[in-house]
Amino acid sequence: MTHAFDEQYWETHWTSLSGASPAEHGGGTANPHVVDEIGALVPGTALDAGCGHGAEAIWLAARGWRVTAADVSGHALEQAAARAAGLALPRPVTWLQADLTAWEPEGRFDLVMTNYAHASMPQLDLYEQLSRWVAPGGTLLVVGHLEAPAAAGAPTGLPHAHPPAASVRPEDVAARLGRDGWRVETADRRARTVMRRPGHAMTLHDAVIRATRREG
């Protein structure tokens, strides 16, 4: 099935999950790829693009990052803000309803990260757009669904397919950035098993790309 991945799609998606726990839709704790790739960076300004219920934005804020967490879904942002309100974060997260295909930030960020965001534009175009918002010396982190051929045949706990239009290969994301302006630190295929509900394990196949924008 093809999806528009527009605001209406995502509002419906998040509204339908209203009764579910964050763990059931994958937003319980910060994505381990984010923790691994970002954990050693010195905190600065960060954009979480397509933050959903905010697990990664909250994780960053708890580590001293000044986080803008943007999502097209007002419903998701309400849930995220409610979750953050119960925590003693050193810095509040700025929750921003914005369509990343049209929005322009006022400045650049030390970190722009995105976790499985798929919008109503081609996936690589979205990542290129996000890359423009990284300050010199800053970091782009993309965690996305791995394009199907590389994952085909791999054992999974549940039948679980992501739309091809929302999936990428790490080398294609890295190539889109270009060698001159970026140093690619990570361009990996990774698999991890998650437990969405008791007894329902699922293996996720991810593309993980971390790159540093060259200075000057």
Ligand X SMILES: C[S@@+](CC[C@H](N)C(=O)[O-])C[C@H]1O[C@@H](n2cnc3c(N)ncnc32)[C@H](O)[C@@H]1O
72 sits near ligand X (criterion: CB under 6 A): yes
124 sits near ligand X (criterion: CB under 6 A): no
Beta bridge pairs of residue 143? 115, 208
What is residue 60's three-state secondary structure?
Answer: helix
| Binding window for ligand X (CB under 6 A); candidates: 116-124, 129-137, 175-183, 185-193 | 116-124
Nearer to ligand X, 19 or 153 (CB): 19
Nearer to ligand X, 79 or 211 (CB): 79
The pattern of x and - marking residues 13 through 52 that bind ligand X according to CB under 6 A reads -------------xx---x------------------xxx
Distance CA 2, CA 179 (A): 33
100 sits near ligand X (criterion: CB under 6 A): yes
170 sits near ligand X (criterion: CB under 6 A): no
Nearest Cα residue to 106 out of 96, 119, 117, 118: 96
Does residue 100 contact residue 48 with C-beta atoms inside 8 Å?
A: no
Give min distance, CB of 131 to ligand X, in A: 16
Does residue 113 contact residue 34 with C-beta atoms inside 8 Å?
A: yes
Does residue 28 contact residue 22 with C-beta atoms inside 8 Å?
A: yes
DSSP state of 158: S
List residues binding ligand X (CB under 6 A). Answer: 5, 10, 26-27, 31, 50-52, 70-73, 76, 99-101, 115-117, 119
